[in-house]
Structure 1
Amino acid sequence: MAQFQSLIRIMNLAIILTLLNIQRSIACGRAEYRTGIECCPMCSPGNRVHKHCTEFTSTSCVPCTDSTFLDEPNGLTACILCTNCDPGFGLKVKQPCTPSSDTVCGTLEGFYCLDPTKDGCRAAQRHSSCKPGQYINHTGTISTDTLCSDCTGDTYSDGSFTSCQPHTQCDTLKLQQIKPGTHWSDSECGPQASLSIAEIISAAAAVVVVVVVLAVMAAVAIRRKMKGPLSERTFPETQSPTEVSDREGTSMLFVGTRTGKVAYNIRMVQYTCS
């Protein structure tokens, strides 16, 4: 009799263990999570588990706080920390964090996204800058970088133009080209060439020198003409020479002129006094 009772107890224990294994092998529902042998109801988005359910009580949930969130039904006991949109990585807050949704980051002005997400971006990079001699072929967007192309021919760009510009033609503006254009700079124009102050002074000095030389040459010619031979000189008929003698007996002949008297030496004649 005792052996029969022991056999019944063993069979009951085996049945209980089998039932427990079957229960454990059965999956919990879609809105449930397993804890031990229990399938507990999940907490709704924005909430976490405060106490797991028991055979007699349901799951106890509390809201996420302090910049944390849970965006799906869950059986977690801690919320997830909200994402920080770091400006150092070219990010800004597109949508702020809530208890039921994470922060959505966007790109700062002048940046494009390198690591996109469903609604935002996790990492961004600054748009490339075109160099002088290049133009912006395609302006950068939040998802693509700037595309630069080189200028060709007689055109230029400082790197900020959306197309290369033709060099200024100075002659069409009636100006003089001071510096020719390059692929990175325009032509430089200025007023037509004119004599500088130094050149004007030099020219005036040359004219003065020429005038002085001509004046000197004319004065020399006039002087030479005035000092011509005595034999070629004529005297007015109204004037007659006057002969005088000095103490030594030298005979002098004076001829009167309009401007004065010119004395001419006559051969010395010795007179003997009687």
Structure 2
Amino acid sequence: MLPGCLVCLLGGCLLRHWASGSDLNCTPQEYPHEGRCCHRCAPGLKVRSDCTASRNTECEQCEERHFQSSWTKERHCTPHRSCDHNAGLDTRSPGDTKHNAECQCQQGMYCSSRDCQTCLNITACRPGEGVAWKADNFSDTVCVPCEHGTFSNISSSSEPCRPWTRAWPWPQPRPLSSADLCYGHYCSLSRGAHSLLPVSERSPAAQTEAGPGAAGSRGAGTAPGASRGGVRGA
């Protein structure tokens, strides 16, 4: 058994050693090493050798295609991420010694997560739906059903619902009913035989622009679409 004075001496040494380590108050830009605070290396650099009693930390530049984005005590930089073209990715930013490379999805696709590891196809809204929000690099298309008075007869990832075209059946104009359907410049009307005739031929404005003698300014006895069956049974 050790003499009491020797035990006390060893205990005091251990206590002083523990206290010296706990007394280190390194700043966020420093790190503890062998009882002293060493300076961390700045972003874009890595540690070449730790500090000693006679010199400070030695740092060196990150190697090509590697980066370090924060103050570090590490001896190795992180490799840039690779944007795999076969996975639908393109390089958005090549990165540098302080920043990682950034990827983006190819046209017609969007990132499935914020780190853009994989891509998904952009949704095309179906006929009867319109685009409320176009897709971007991190989110898909938002589709909504077309409300009464609007329509969509195509599949699209960019087109919103369009308002119904106002029909002007010859010879007397009338507003559309809920059963009337218009697509672009053509209307299929619920009443009468005015079916699938160009709206431009039925618009009073178009008739006025056509001038005297045009189809829209003919007398009431001759309908401009009569020869094509446009007013049968009216």
Give me the TM-score of the superposition, normalised by structure 2: 0.56
Match of residue 140 from structure 1: 135
CA RMSD of aligned residues (A): 4.2
Instruction: Indicate conservation of the 8 Å contact 1:89/1:125, yes or no.
Output: no
Give the structure with higher Rg (CA).
1
Higher relative contact order (CA 8 A, sep 6+): 2
How far apart in 2 are the matches of 1:10 and 1:155? 92
Match of residue 26 from structure 1: 23
How far apart in 2 are the matches of 1:109 and 1:134? 22
Gaps spanning 5+ residues in structure 2: where?
171-180, 189-195, 199-224, 230-234
Match of residue 126 from structure 1: 121
Instruction: Indicate conservation of the 8 Å contact 1:110/1:126, yes or no.
Output: yes
How far apart in 2 are the matches of 1:107 and 1:57? 48
Give deviations 1:77-131, integer Å, cap 9, x for gaps: 11111122344555443332111222233454444444336xxx55553321112
Aligned-partner residue type, residue 134 of structure 2: T
Query: Which of 57, 80, 83 is residue 82 of structure 1 equivalent to?
Result: 80
Q: What secondary structure is seen at the aligned counterpart in 2 of 1:76?
A: coil
Residue 97 to residue 138, structure 1, CA distance change in 2 (3 Å): closer
Give deviations 1:129-153, integer Å, cap 9, x for gaps: 1123433233233444222234568
Q: What secondary structure is seen at the aligned counterpart in 2 of 1:23?
A: helix
How far apart in 2 are the matches of 1:67 and 1:111? 27
Q: What secondary structure is seen at the aligned counterpart in 1 of 2:99?
A: coil
Instruction: Indicate conservation of the 8 Å contact 1:134/1:164, yes or no.
Output: no
Give deviations 1:187-239, integer Å, cap 9, x for gaps: 66699569xxxxxxxxxxxxxxxxxxxxxxxxxxxxxxxxxxxxxxxxxxxxx
Alignment of structure 1 residues 1-274 onto 2, 5 Å: 13-30=10-27, 31-88=29-86, 91-116=89-114, 121=116, 123-151=118-146, 155-160=151-156, 161-164=159-162, 166=164, 192=227
Gaps spanning 5+ residues in structure 1: where?
1-5, 173-180, 195-274
Task: Give the aligned length.
Answer: 181
Q: What secondary structure is seen at the aligned counterpart in 2 of 1:125?
A: strand
How far apart in 2 are the matches of 1:101 and 1:108? 22
Residue 48 to residue 156, structure 1, CA distance change in 2 (3 Å): closer
How far apart in 1 are the matches of 2:79 and 2:102? 13
Instruction: Indicate conservation of the 8 Å contact 2:150/2:161, yes or no.
Output: no
Instruction: Indicate conservation of the 8 Å contact 2:164/2:182, yes or no.
Output: no
Q: What secondary structure is seen at the aligned counterpart in 1 of 2:37?
A: strand
Instruction: Indicate conservation of the 8 Å contact 1:32/1:42, yes or no.
Output: yes
How far apart in 2 are the matches of 1:52 and 1:58? 7
